[in-house]
Structure 1
Amino acid sequence: MAPIYKLKFFDYMGVAEPIRYLFAYGGIKYENIIIKKNVDWPRIQNTVPFGKLPVLEVDNKVLHQSTAICRYLGKLVGLLPSDDLVAAELDALVASTFDFGARVHQWYHEEDVSCKHQDEKELETVVFPRYLNEFEDIIHQKGGYLGGKQLTWADFYFVGILESVQGMWSKDFLQQYPYITQLFKNVHALPTIKSYIATRPNYKY
């Protein structure tokens, strides 16, 4: 009997979108439970590991941390390389993707106007070029995807997080990165992903 999956996250793309992509890709049924920050979260926060979302309930077990959840799903849908070294390289790239998204998320939620302006300048002149140039080179050198010439779970994580960043940044930052752009197009062109995108809720970012 197939496990019962329940994904809990806020009404955003964020670090949950790669998880939703992998469910869609694998045609795996799950319950997408939306947690309302001002209504549900105060009651739920102390019931999840380390007080953070997303969490994925797999029957009676609870997984936390988006990267670990995606790696688990990646194996389920056949997108985890069997070579341990290659798999570890993907883990590192996913961790760097998370770091990039978290840095933008920090800026987005900064309430001090002067600090936010300073952060934005640093993102635009240092952080974005550093991360995106490196990812562009990696995708180019490896043959179109983060793991080489074949799609892996890391590509879903990468695309999902960058979509969230696009929502927060509200500026076109991919135009000068043709290999990243092509990877986006390849992922979005997958029939299951195209179908998911056509019907997904209008998440804020």
Structure 2
Amino acid sequence: MAPVYKLKFFNFMGVAEPIRYLFAFGGISYKNIEIEDADWPDVQKSVPFGKLPVLEVDKKVLYQSVAISRYLGKLVGLLPNDDLEAAELDAIALTVFDFGTKVHEWYHEQDKEKKLYLQKELEERWCPRYLGDLEEIVKQKGTYFGGQKLSWADLYFVGIMESIEGMWGSKILEKQYPSLFTIYKHVHEIPAIETYVSNRPHYKY
């Protein structure tokens, strides 16, 4: 019997969106549980380290978006057999997560002066560094982060970039990072992903 999957997150994209992409890609049924603000204090007490997303696989609970995505990536055939290649993809996904965290920090900063400082850091330091280095990796590898073959890290990157561009308010990749933009386009052209994106709820970033 197939496992029962329950994904718990808030009603926005965030770090859960790559997970939803992978479920869509694999045609795997799951229950998408959206946690309301009023319920969060109680839910927070029941999940590992008080953080979301979590994925319940029958009675087991997985946490951390990169670990969940890697698990699903293997399940849907997007994880290479070579251990070194697999580790390289882990590093890509963790780097994308780090970049997303910096944008998230800026987006939710309430102090105007600090927010301006964080924005300058993003514009002058972090966007060029993270996206520039990722762009070079793809140029050296080929079409995708793993070379010529699509991997779970590509879906993870695109899922996170959707939130980043939403928070930033502009299409960062299209003008400056053509190799990364190609991945972005290719992933959205996958029929299962295209169908999911067309029918998903109107999530916040």
TM norm. shorter chain > 0.5? yes
Return the alpha-carbon distance in structure 2 between the equivalents of residues 72 and 177 of structure 1: 28
Give the C-alpha shift of residue 172 in structure 1: 2.6
Q: Give 1:140's aligned residue.
A: 139
Q: Which runs of 5+ in 1 are unaligned?
A: none
Give 1:45's aligned amino acid. Q
Q: Give 1:200's aligned residue.
A: 200
Alignment map for 1:69-108 (pairs within 5 Å): 69-108=68-107
Matched residue pairs, number? 204
Q: Give 2:8's aligned residue.
A: 8
Is 1:124 the counterpart of 2:123? The answer is yes
Is 1:35 the counterpart of 2:35? The answer is yes
Write the deviation string for residues 6-27 of structure 1: whole angstroms up to 9, x where unpaired: 0000111100000000000000
TM-score (norm 2): 0.98
Q: Give 1:155's aligned residue.
A: 154
Return the alpha-carbon distance in structure 1 between the equivalents of residues 154 and 180 of structure 2: 10
Once superposed, which parts of structure 1, at least 4 consecutive aligned residues long, lie more than 3 Å away?
none
Give 1:196's aligned amino acid. Y
Q: Give 1:49's aligned residue.
A: 48
Return the alpha-carbon distance in structure 1 between the equivalents of residues 3 and 9 of structure 2: 19
- Percent identity reads 63
Q: Which runs of 5+ in 2 are unaligned?
A: none
Return the alpha-carbon distance in structure 2 between the equivalents of residues 93 and 83 of structure 1: 16
Give 1:70's aligned amino acid. S
Return the alpha-carbon distance in structure 2 between the equivalents of residues 26 and 172 of structure 1: 27
Return the alpha-carbon distance in structure 2 between the equivalents of residues 93 and 108 of structure 1: 23
TM-score (norm 1): 0.98
Return the alpha-carbon distance in structure 1 between the equivalents of residues 39 and 168 of structure 2: 27
Give the C-alpha shift of residue 64 in structure 1: 0.4
Return the alpha-carbon distance in structure 2 between the equivalents of residues 202 and 62 of structure 1: 27
Q: Give 1:185's aligned residue.
A: 185
Return the alpha-carbon distance in structure 2 between the equivalents of residues 98 and 132 of structure 1: 12
Give the C-alpha shift of residue 173 in structure 1: 1.5
SS in 2 for 1:6: strand
